[in-house]
């Protein structure tokens, strides 16, 4: 089996935004699906991991797109493991039209947790370090790695929403991509008419669950550059905790 997984998709019209370009959230979910197809076919997918009380947890995701596929266009997501350490693996993505035109790239970092203790576990313990057989370290992924999202503290609470049924995925907590969608909803269509989202980066800190409130704190950190941190509050317990931080770069488009 090839070390690089390659999956074909179509930009279905009802997964496209007002401009006929695919929603970034939908692309993000297809990247996660491609990651799961790739790992399932190679013996370390989530469905198998659930049987041994393990799960992959997305720790960071960065997506950088020159262009988004338009409705009805076919696109290909290639995904591969770039490296593995005891507690983290890095997995990359390339989104192309399958004929040499690259739409963009993604970089992700994953931890493996024990689903009972929610603590990180040793990735090499799965099938005697089998993941090492799948590492591809010579395929380029020419976008920057995600770093720490630094914010000055001069951010504004711009939005608060509740967590609902459709936000929760098979892991029992808010789907990683739902945060991205909620953050993208902080800008309106007039903004998207004039700006292309070149890069979206998210670092996950804690999980949010149904019943939590998500508070969005936003700060502009450069020209077209915004950082957003999400803080969950549990209205019954009265506790607050940071859930994730995002950094967005818009360019004129």
46 binds a second copy (CB under 8 A): yes
Q: By CB under 8 A, which span of 39-47, 86-94, 129-137, 241-249 interacts with a second copy? A: 39-47
185 binds a second copy (CB under 8 A): yes
115 binds a second copy (CB under 8 A): no
CB of 178 to a second copy, least distance (A): 10
98 binds a second copy (CB under 8 A): no
Facing residues of 96 across strands?
Answer: 76, 102
Q: Do 67 and 27 form a contact (C-beta atoms < 8 A)?
A: no
Please select the residue that binds a second copy; options are 116, 166, 236, 238, rule is CB under 8 A: 166
Contacts of 123 (CB under 8 A, 6+ apart): 84, 85, 86, 87, 88, 89, 112, 131
What DSSP line would sit under 87-100, residue for residue?
SEEEEEEEEE-SSS
CB of 130 to a second copy, least distance (A): 20
Q: By CB under 8 A, which span of 91-99, 112-120, 142-150, 170-178 interacts with a second copy? A: 170-178
Q: By CB under 8 A, which span of 7-15, 102-110, 143-151, 219-227 interacts with a second copy? A: 7-15
Q: Do 46 and 40 form a contact (C-beta atoms < 8 A)?
A: yes
Q: Which residue, 36 or 225, is less far from a second copy as judged by CB?
A: 36
158 binds a second copy (CB under 8 A): no
Tell me the C-alpha distance between 94 and 142, whole Å: 10
- Burial classification of residue 153, based on how many CB atoms lie within 10 Å of its CB (0-12 exposed, 13-18 middle, 19 or more buried): exposed
CB of 168 to a second copy, least distance (A): 5
What tokens does 67 get?
A: 């262009």
51 binds a second copy (CB under 8 A): no
Please select the residue that binds a second copy; options are 17, 155, 207, 242, rule is CB under 8 A: 17
CB of 88 to a second copy, least distance (A): 20
* Cα–Cα distance list, 11 to 24, 75, 87, 146 (Å): 11, 7, 34, 26
User: Beta-carbon neighbour count of residue 191 at 10 Å?
Assistant: 11
| Interface residues toward a second copy, by CB under 8 A | 12-20, 23, 25, 29-30, 32-33, 36, 40, 46-47, 71-72, 164-166, 168-170, 172, 175, 177, 181, 184-185, 187-189, 192, 210-211
């Amino acid at each position: 089996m090839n070390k690089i997984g390659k999956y074909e998709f179509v930009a279905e019209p009802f997964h496209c935004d007002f401009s006929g370009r695919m929603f970034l959230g939908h692309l993000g979910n297809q990247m996660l699906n491609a990651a799961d197809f790739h790992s399932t076919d190679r013996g370390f997918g989530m469905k198998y991991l659930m049987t041994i009380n393990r799960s992959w947890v997305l720790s960071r995701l960065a997506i950088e797109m020159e262009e988004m596929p338009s409705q009805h266009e076919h696109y290909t997501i290639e995904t591969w493991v770039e490296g593995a350490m005891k507690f983290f693996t890095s997995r990359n993505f390339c989104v192309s039209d399958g004929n040499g035109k690259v739409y963009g790239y993604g970089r992700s970092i994953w931890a493996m947790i024990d689903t009972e203790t929610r603590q990180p576990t040793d990735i090499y313990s799965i099938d005697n370090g089998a993941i090492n057989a799948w590492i591809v370290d010579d395929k380029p992924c020419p976008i920057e790695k995600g770093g720490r999202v630094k914010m000055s503290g001069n951010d504004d609470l711009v939005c608060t929403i509740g967590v609902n049924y459709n936000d929760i995925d098979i892991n029992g907590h808010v789907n990683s991509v739902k945060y991205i969608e909620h953050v993208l909803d902080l800008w309106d269509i007039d903004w998207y008419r004039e700006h292309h989202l070149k890069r979206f980066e998210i670092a996950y800190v804690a999980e949010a669950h149904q019943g939590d409130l998500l508070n969005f704190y936003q700060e502009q950190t450069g020209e077209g550059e915004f950082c957003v941190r999400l803080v969950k509050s549990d209205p019954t317990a009265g506790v607050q905790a940071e859930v994730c931080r995002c950094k967005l770069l818009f360019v004129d488009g």
